[in-house]
Amino acid sequence: MLQGRRIILGVSGGIAAYKAIEVCRRLVDLGAHVTPILTDAAHNMVGPTTFTALASEPVKTSLWHDSDPIPHTRMGQNADAIVVCPATARIISDLRTGRSADLLSATLIATAAPVVVCPAMHTEMWEHPAVAENIEVLADRGVIIVPPEEGRLAGGDIGKGRLAEVATVVDAVVALFADGPLGGRTVLISAGGTREPIDPVRFLGNRSSGKQGHALAEVAAAMGAEVTLVTTAGLASSSTITRIDVETAAEMHEAVAGRARAADVVIMAAAVADFRPVGASTQKIKKANGPPTVTLEQTVDILGELGAGKPDGQVLVGFAAETENLRDNALGKLKRKGADLLVANDVSAPGVGFAHDTNAVTIFGADGSVREVSMNDKTAIAMAVLDAAVERLPDIESKNQ
């Protein structure tokens, strides 16, 4: 999502500096080249060794360096973005006034790249008129402000000033480069395994964790799409994604069916139950009564229904978790369901499929194409699937005619 982007991560001396470590890791995971700059005060909160280990190059701290007499100018000119996380009242004031007191403040005024400022401070400081005025001036100049949240602060009290969540900070950076191949498109994605109740405490389910579906949603959003995620998984999702939480196949069908026709791309990554109990008991079934008889009925074939009613220009993607005869089973499902793409994986293989952070898939196209995607993390798999979908989308102009 941020492949090749050069991001400067400025860390100032707030107690929330420890959260910048996770921001650094996530930016690197998204492909960014991250250069950390720590202020002298930041060293009181976090150690430079951690950032050096996680970032793309060692921590920078000083304006004065024998091998680079003007580090602020070089870094400021080469940066695609600068993120200040956390931003203290001091660094916010320096940026507003143009005071170049250290390497970070000098770099901030030596760049034409977009700047993202993530304030974190005590409530009284955040609400002080001088700080409020500085924030207003910076916002008017085009600086992106990721406002602090309300919550428990370092002093133990509750108030506004807590650093925004790591995902919110990363979302703001990704949004800077979101004019991607799915800009102006809507993408509907399902994720997770459905649960069909037997009684109030038991259910029929499957091993799907939802990780691949959530990765697809995050990548689609980073590629510029307006994303709706229908999920059964308890995983976090970015604030830019419209999320609908469901549990059963019937709930997923209702959520997907009402939104599918308006989507440019529909990806059914969820493992939807094929069968459900005919009638769930309203009370817990007691062991003393002996083994119960559970009668099953078929659930709605959501992918098949979507394929039968697919509007012109829409790209429909299905998933198939197989344990044998992957190619034959996948091609048969692709044809039966009326999908444009079928993503198949052998979930019996080590490191593939359910609950793993990695996956390996074969993407079959209704046009006869076949693409093997070898073992990789699920974000990389998501990129491959979405690239294949983008290739099949009509251009925006022809869609609107």
The pLDDT tens digits of the residues spanning 178-219 come to: 667 898 899 999 999 999 999 999 999 998 999 999 999 988
The pLDDT tens digits of the residues spanning 258-273 come to: 999 999 999 999 999 9
SS3 of residue 397 by DSSP: helix
The tokens describing 346, both together, are 């052998």
Is the predicted pLDDT of residue 66 greater than 60, yes or no? Answer: no
SS3 of residue 173 by DSSP: helix
Residue 69 has what pLDDT? 63
The highest-confidence range among 70-74, 94-98, 155-159, by mean pLDDT, is 94-98
Which is catalytic among the residues 78, 206, 289, 325? Answer: 206
Mean pLDDT of 310-319: 97
* Residue 2's pLDDT band (cuts 50, 70, 90): confident
The pLDDT tens digits of the residues spanning 144-175 come to: 999 998 888 877 788 888 999 998 899 889 88
Residue 389 has what pLDDT? 97
The tokens describing 367, both together, are 């046009």
Query: Which residues, 6+ apart, have CB-to-CB distance to 344 below 8 Å?
Result: 319, 320, 321, 322, 326, 327, 329, 330, 361, 362, 363, 364
Q: Are 18 and 54 in contact (CB under 8 A)?
A: no
Residue 200 has what pLDDT? 95
- What pTM, to 2 d.p., does this model score? 0.68
CA-based nearest residue to 156, from 193, 122, 182: 122
The pLDDT tens digits of the residues spanning 6-63 come to: 999 999 998 999 999 999 999 998 889 999 999 999 999 998 999 999 999 999 988 7
Name all domains of the chain by residue range, CATH numbers in brackets: 6-176 (3.40.50.1950), 186-400 (3.40.50.10300)
CA-based nearest residue to 302, from 188, 144, 159: 188
Q: Answer yes or no: 206 catalytic.
A: yes
Residue 137 has what pLDDT? 95
Cα gap 368→374, rounded to integer Å: 19
Cα gap 158→345, rounded to integer Å: 48
Token pair 């703001």 is found at 172
Q: Are 120 and 88 in contact (CB under 8 A)?
A: yes
Mean pLDDT of 355-379: 93
Is the predicted pLDDT of residue 68 greater than 80, yes or no? Answer: no
